[in-house]
Structure 1
Amino acid sequence: MSIGNFSLSLTVKDIKASKEFYEKLGFHVFGGKMEHNWLIMQNDDCTIGLFQGMFDKSMLTFNPGWNNKTEEVNPFKDVRVLQEELREKGISFVTEVDVTSEGPGSFIIEDPDGNPILVDQHR
């Protein structure tokens, strides 16, 4: 089962300080808006998101329909289909996507240790 492009979404206290730190590790800003307190950074094929004031905890993130350059991948499995397949496997949900909607949507699950996993479809 492919659940999309992987990245790590980090909850940060000071987005400017975090940006500068990760730049020293070789990351560069790939997307986002500093003035909205979120940035997407890459180093080769490694992607991280910096989010100030948006999430309680850092989380694993998967984006159905995208590759690691945010280019569309076709075909791909819609987030609503993924949600139902995971439900059938006994996965519990923290938040769910509205199955009557189309296009962008997301859900959150947790691994056995309470680490949040966001599946966030942008298209």
Structure 2
Amino acid sequence: MNLGNFSVSLAVKDIHASRKFYEALGFTAFHDQSQHGWMILKNGDTVIGLFQGMFEKNMLCFNPGWDNNGQDIDPFTDVRELQRQLKARGITPVKEVDESTTGRGHCIVVDPDGNPILLDQHR
């Protein structure tokens, strides 16, 4: 099962203070949507997302159809197919993607320790 690009999505209180901190660690913002409360930063192959007011807690994130530069890849496994495969393996999403749709969509599963995992397809 190929889940796509991996990143850690951090629930932050102040996106500008967080950006300054992570830039001091060597990260560079490559997708800045801070006016909408989020941005994606990168340090080498490591990708993190900063999200202010969008999530209750930090989560693992996978982006089907994207590489670690946010560029489209083909072929890829659609999030709806990933959801079907997860259900077949006994993993029930807490938020499901509508399987009758196409394109963008997301689902969320939670691991046994309560850590949310977001499968977020942007195309």
- Partner Cα distance (1:50, 1:58) in 2: 9
What TM-score do the two structures reach when normalised by structure 2? 0.98
- Partner Cα distance (2:23, 2:71) in 1: 23
Which residue number in structure 1 is paired with residue 88 of structure 2?
88
Which residue number in structure 2 is paired with residue 65 of structure 1?
65
**Cα deviations across residues 77-107 of structure 1 (Å, max 9, x unaligned)?**
0000000010000001110000000000000
Unaligned runs of 5+ in 1: none
Task: Give the alignment of 1:7-86 within 5 angstroms.
Answer: 7-86=7-86
- Partner Cα distance (1:102, 1:33) in 2: 24
Among all aligned residue pairs of Structure 1 and Structure 2, give the percentage whose two residues are the same amino acid: 58
- Partner Cα distance (2:68, 2:109) in 1: 22
| CA root-mean-square deviation | 0.6
| Other structure's SS at 2:32 match | strand
- Partner Cα distance (1:94, 1:18) in 2: 28
- Partner Cα distance (2:84, 2:105) in 1: 14
Question: What amino acid is aligned across from residue 54 of structure 1 in structure 2?
Answer: M
**How many equivalent residue pairs?**
123
